[in-house]
Amino acid sequence: MKIGIIGIGLTDFRIHKEPFYNLAFEAAKKAVNDAGIDRGDIDSFVLGGYDNLGVGRTIANMYVAPAAGGYLRHEIRVADDAAFALPMACMRILAGLSDICIVVGFGTTSEIPLELVELQSLDPLFYRPTNLSIWAYYAIQKYAYSSKFGVDEERIAECVVRDRKNAKSNPYAFKREELKLDDVLNSEYSVYPLRKLETAANCDGAVALILAEGTIAKRLSDSVVWIKGFGWSNSNYYFEDFERLPATKFAAEMAMKKAKMDSIKAFENYEVMDLVSNHQLMILEALGLADWGKGYEIADSLNLNSSGGALSTNAYGTTGLFLLANAAIKLREGLFDSSLVHAMSGYARRSCVSLLGV
Amino acid sequence: MRRVAIVGVGQTKFRTRREDKTHPELAFEAVKKTLEHSGLNINDIEAVVYGSMDPFDGIYRPELWDSTSSGIFKPHMKISTGGTTGLTTALAAYEHVASGLFDVVLAIAVQRVGECADAQSVLNTAVDPIYERHSGVGAIHVASFQATRYMHEFKATEEDIAWVSVKDHKNALKNPYAHIKMDVTVEDVLKSPVICSPLKLLECCPRSDGAAAAIFASEEVAKKIRDNPAWILGEVTISDNYYIGDRPNLAVWDSLALAGRRLYRAVGIDDPKKDIDVAELYSAFSIQEILELEALGFAKPGEGKDYAKNGITFPDGDIPTNPSGGVLCTNPIGASGLIRIIEASLQVMGEASNQVENARVALAHAWGGTLQFHTLFMVSSSKKFGR
Amino acid sequence: MEIVEFESFWNIPYKHSAGKHASKFFHALKEKKILGVKCPKCNRVLVPPRAFCERCFVECNDWVELKDEGVVETLSVTYVKFTGLPDPPYAVGVVKLDGADTGFLAYLGGIDLKDWKKVHEKFKPGTRVKAVWKDRPEGKITDILYFKPVEL
């Protein structure tokens, strides 16, 4: 059975002054219109995004379910970046329980103290008392990565330049001003050795995708974007392997295996959730596109982060789905024929990889 | 569609506080029991679905720490949907297997409300801060609204409703995992202090620490694991609008009635009273069982109030409801929904501690939000209803 | 062996945008007015007002002024102190305001709350109630102090 994306909806990604459920409504409504259907055609509503601390209220899906159009329908919420909700939606369709399913994600980074929120995910006994913020952890990763593999500062900082260059021509991205290598290298530090400009561009926004079972997708759309495969994985809670991203590796392997695809290098586009500069290279290596420490050698030869990546747009809770939507839009426009989209969460210890094609 | 069954279940003993274990250790206890019950080992588990209602436990995203208890480098998914969490976690695990992508999937739900100073203050954060949080409403209040309205519409007495508590407490005495073990009379219930009128202390659920888990397997694998798996006949989940004032009538749980109709249609149930042998319903407050029985077609509107009083919902009655003691006696919030399907499964497996005779078809239910969500599951000792 | 325990307090600040619709509602409260929205498709008048009708899945931008008077649908009196929640006793209920199709969650008051049976009798479902406003409304939901029974 094939699963296709037949509708895409996004709000602007910027700082909003609307509650998250209104953003979700906007994205869902856009997706429904884009697919040329009514909310009544959708039989299942799979929500993604964070809850309680991540959004400022408990059981956030109480508000998002009706906003997504799920009034008196089947709705479930995967509490993670919305990219992780895609497998749930796909599995429901594959099980024959759904024909048309909407996936909705939102992120309102501007309303939350992000670092304090993420800190509470560390256990109260051993890790939390160290006050290891996400940026501090990512900074440790940068340090471990660059010293273990001998990767220069400049190579890592180039990742920011790369993303911003792409964001400039992406109307959906948040931070779209190009940066020069010197701009990045001379900017102030966030947590040494990470510079502020090397960290994700926090903003708000919502994304909705309408998925349909293959035969129905073909009836409803002439420009279906097919979901060829997906995989997801966790990794050890206890910090190890600072210089690698094992969850990404396992997620990609699962996706390729389930899709029965051989070569991970065969994709014409890659969108990766680089929450900080060094992540971009680490993700390429974890995906298996380059040897450890050699990501910079291939980064420019790939069609990488045409969306601008997370370094240009990060709405905490839906960044992964944002990257996916961007890839899907470009696939529709014929800019490339296949895309691998990567997302991660939980101090980079969880990952979800989706494979798209036309 | 692929047939799926529950082949192993596990619960920890539920108490006010499990100070003897950390979060992942509590999760591990349930995982271990479930593996033992199914005869599988951790490497047989291909994927994990984890449910919890953070932030009660004082940890945001406890699945990160707890995932160490169920195997790392596995696909691991977090489900969190308020009170229905335990059952939507089961739903997600079921769909993992039904999709054909996995043969053996673990559903686990963990809650440590005992670590939170006051659950109601956390529940208050669920209420919309823009319009409604100021009104000091938590879960008990919304159930009290149901009780007030039901008593007004159907002339139910406090005594009628108190009987549900008597039944649940009696049933819990037979459940080795139950939290509250107290034999209470109607007078005991009526004399207990009023919390939110008209509901009294003994009509309200406790807060419990604990974990529960269940393993879902595909037909071919299930057959190899045990002779008496609990087959999943169907599942339904429904979401109403958020605002409490949007409910047309708080004495009638119409969103549950809708969900019930959909499930019965999918499974082929003609008459729930005759076709379903036992029900594990999420009745966190005495009044709720009454509304649930009526919404699900076990009783006509206004009739449900007499069921407990007349023994109908006792284990030896016509419509045994919550023989485990239910949520009223054990409530590890995010796990309570999973316990409903675990107890329902044990009933049709013939392994329940308070076994209903000849239980072949069982219903599991959970509600969540501001009386907003419902999830329902039908399990059976047969692969298909009616066989 | 003694189990070690740690105390922790969450003090996590948020700033929630009410958005255009709720903001309009709050500004109206300053003038002791309660506003709802009318769905252009199903014509229901919804309060609290919201950006979209969940049934029709369309935006709602037609504003309706409602009376600050209505009918009690249900209620409950709280007698227990919960951390962070108001000191008991306090009564909360759902009031169907005149002109609205949905109920409004609000405090009920103006009478002695000690005996819940008396409160339930005084405010029984169907009772007409009217809002008691703060003298100087601030544009917050608490400008409506409570609803009290309308003496015939």
pLDDT digits (tens, 9 = 90+) for A13-46: 999 999 999 999 999 999 999 999 999 999 999 9
Per the structure, the complete domain to which residue B68 belongs is given by 4-117+207-225
Read off the pTM. 0.96
Kindly tell me the sign of the dihedral angle through the C-alpha atoms of C116, C122, C124, C130: negative
- Residue B135's pLDDT is 60
Task: Show residues of chain C in contact with B55, CB under 8 Å.
Answer: 10
Could you read off the pLDDT tens digit of each residue along chain C, which spans 152 residues? Answer: 888 888 877 888 888 888 999 999 999 999 999 999 999 999 999 999 999 999 999 999 999 999 999 999 999 999 998 877 889 999 999 999 999 999 999 999 999 999 999 999 999 999 999 999 999 999 988 899 999 999 86
Task: Kindly state whether C79 is in contact with chain B, defined as any CB-CB distance less than 8 angstroms.
Answer: yes
Tell which A residues from 207 to 226 touch C, by Cβ distance under 8 Å: none
Number of domains in chain B: 1
Task: Show residues of chain A in contact with C25, CB under 8 Å.
Answer: none
Residue A81: closest C-alpha in chain B:
B78
Does residue B48 lie within any of the structural domains? yes
Does residue B49 lie within any of the structural domains? yes
Does residue B97 lie within any of the structural domains? yes
Does residue B130 lie within any of the structural domains? no
Q: Which residues pair with B366 in a beta bridge?
A: B375
Q: Indicate the burial class of A131 (C-beta count within 10 angstroms; 0-12, 13-18, 19 or more).
A: exposed
Separation of alpha carbons A250 and A332, rounded Å: 28
Does residue B84 lie within any of the structural domains? yes
- Intervals of chain B under pLDDT 50: none
User: Quick check: C46 and C60 in contact, CB under 8 A?
Assistant: yes
Q: Indicate the burial class of C124 (C-beta count within 10 angstroms; 0-12, 13-18, 19 or more).
A: middle
pLDDT-derived band at A61 (thresholds 50, 70, 90) equals: very high
User: Quick check: C53 and A66 in contact, CB under 8 A?
Assistant: no
Testing the interface with A: which of B63, B70, B77, B106 to mutate, by most A Cβ within 10 A? B77
Whether residues C6 and A124 touch (CB distance < 8 A) is answered with yes
Enter the ipTM. Answer: 0.97
Testing the interface with C: which of B140, B238, B246 to mutate, by most C Cβ within 10 A? B246
User: Per the structure block, which two tokens stand in for B96?
Assistant: 């993992």
Does residue B77 lie within any of the structural domains? yes
Separation of alpha carbons A284 and A148, rounded Å: 17
Whether residues C82 and B120 touch (CB distance < 8 A) is answered with yes
CATH code of the domain containing B34: 3.40.47.10
Testing the interface with A: which of B81, B116, B218 to mutate, by most A Cβ within 10 A? B81
Nearest to A212 by CA among A198, A226, A202: A226
Does residue B47 lie within any of the structural domains? yes
Does residue B241 lie within any of the structural domains? no
